[in-house]
Amino acid sequence: MVSRGIRGAITVDEDNASGILEATTLLLKTIQAQNDFAVDDITSILFTATRDIKSIYPAQAARDLGWDKVPLLCFQEMEVEGALPLCIRVLVTINTEKEKDIKPVYLRKAIILRPDI
């Protein structure tokens, strides 16, 4: 079994707790569905949020999903001029037998971050 990382990102319309939780939940569920893994396969999840997201930690969405044994950590995304605002990014690390077919997930306005997929 190998450890693989799955990237993803999503945007919110404004900085409020309910919108952040809804968006992060959607992102995590979509990553899980498209990559077909169990919660027990997750080794950790790293979250970043742009500076304009302050209402709640995006990691709370994972806790609300019942992913309470998964190590979670939130960071502030680097501030780069012209960067996509109101964006939450994740790196979900899983243990898997998959050598290929890991599917990154970019939703809403975050699709511009990976035009190649």
The pTM of the full predicted model, rounded to 2 decimals, is: 0.93
pLDDT tens for 53-92 read 999 999 999 999 999 999 999 999 998 998 999 999 999 9
Instruction: Mark whether 108 is an active-site residue.
Output: no
Q: Confirm whether 97 is a catalytic residue.
A: no
Dihedral of the CA atoms 81, 47, 92, 115 (nearest 10)?
-20
Domain topology for 2-113: 60s Ribosomal Protein L30; Chain: A; (3.30.1330)
Q: Domain residues of the chain, as ranges? A: 2-113
Active-site hit among 4, 57, 89, 108? 89
The secondary element (H helix, E strand) that includes residue 78 is none
Tokens for 72? 């979670």
- The phi, psi pair for 65, rounded to 5°, reads -80, -5
CA pair distance 59, 65, nearest whole angstrom:
10
pLDDT band for 117, please (50, 70, 90 cuts): confident
Give the whole-angstrom CA distance, residue 78 versus residue 61.
22
87 catalytic? Reply is no
Question: Is 114 among the residues known to form the active site?
Answer: yes
